[in-house]
């Protein structure tokens, strides 16, 4: 998985993708307000130096992501925020880019607090031996990591393995869609000194509870781990 800084996206290689990216960011940042029209097709073609077919395709992509809708003789209009497809990977990426870091972390913390303890609770009841082996494999990778960079991927794998162990396809899908913001959260909190000393015991407690088929302990261990994540963020921002 790439560890690119979410505030500095890799430039797009195509005119079409670059246009989609820049318009998407302008919509999500509020530069193009909700319920307001985008510039006309001719204006967009001139601004981005693209042909009308390229412009039309870019708008089609934005429409498909729930950011805009198009009507004959009206043009393309920005949809209200509550209609955006926030789990679309591009939309989520643009949302992260346009959100102040502190607000982003608080939003993600709330989402994680809703999802992760309950997934740990469910996994403690539903995990097979193979599921537990995958969770343990990810934990072992965290133990073996010699740097914050090496720690990140097995940490993400640990949480994805728990989601998969619920045997709930929707929960597993939502977890995969949240990998990017989770990655950014781990990047932020990994700046705390003695990362493994603090993080490993919290994750070990979750693993042990799932291995022991103890849903209540798994939920509690997950809540403790998330509380520690919030403490880490507070410390590095002091």
- Other beta carbons less than 10 A from residue 234's beta carbon: 12
Note whether 108 and 102 are within 8 A (CB): no
Does residue 213 surpass a pLDDT of 90? Answer: yes
Q: Does domain 15-83 have CATH number 3.50.50.60?
A: no
- Residue extent(s) of CATH 1.10.10.10 domains in the chain: 15-83
Structure confidence by residue, pLDDT tens digits, 21-40: 999 999 999 999 999 999 99
> In the CATH scheme, what architecture does the domain 100-236 have?
Up-down Bundle (1.20)
pLDDT score of 13? 56
List beta partners, residue 68: 78
Select from 16, 98, 81 the least CA-distant residue to 51. Answer: 16
Q: 105-127: string of b/e by CB count within 10 Å (b at 16+)?
A: beebbeebbebbbbbbbbbbeeb
Structure confidence by residue, pLDDT tens digits, 153-162: 999 999 999 9
């Amino acid at each position: 998985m790439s560890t690119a800084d979410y505030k500095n996206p890799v430039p797009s290689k195509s005119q079409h993708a670059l246009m989609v990216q820049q318009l998407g960011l302008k919509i999500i940042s509020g530069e193009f307000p909700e319920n307001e029209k985008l510039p006309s097709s001719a204006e967009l073609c001139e601004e981005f130096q693209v042909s009308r077919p390229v412009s039309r395709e870019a708008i089609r992509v934005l429409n498909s992501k729930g950011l805009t809708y198009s009507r004959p003789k009206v043009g393309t209009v920005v949809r209200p925020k509550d209609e955006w497809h926030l789990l679309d990977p591009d939309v989520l990426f643009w949302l992260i880019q346009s959100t102040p870091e502190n607000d982003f972390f608080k939003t993600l913390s709330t989402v994680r607090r809703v999802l992760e303890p309950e997934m740990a609770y469910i996994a403690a009841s539903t995990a097979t031996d193979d599921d537990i082996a995958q969770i343990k494999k990810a934990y072992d990778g965290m133990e073996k990591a010699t740097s914050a960079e090496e720690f990140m991927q097995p940490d993400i794998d640990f949480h994805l393995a728990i989601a998969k162990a619920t045997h709930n396809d929707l929960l597993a899908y939502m977890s995969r869609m949240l990998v990017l913001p989770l990655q950014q959260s781990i990047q932020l909190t990994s700046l705390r000194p003695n990362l493994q000393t603090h993080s490993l015991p919290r994750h070990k407690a979750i693993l042990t509870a799932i291995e022991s088929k103890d849903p209540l302990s798994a939920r509690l261990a997950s809540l403790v781990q998330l509380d520690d994540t919030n403490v880490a963020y507070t410390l590095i921002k002091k």
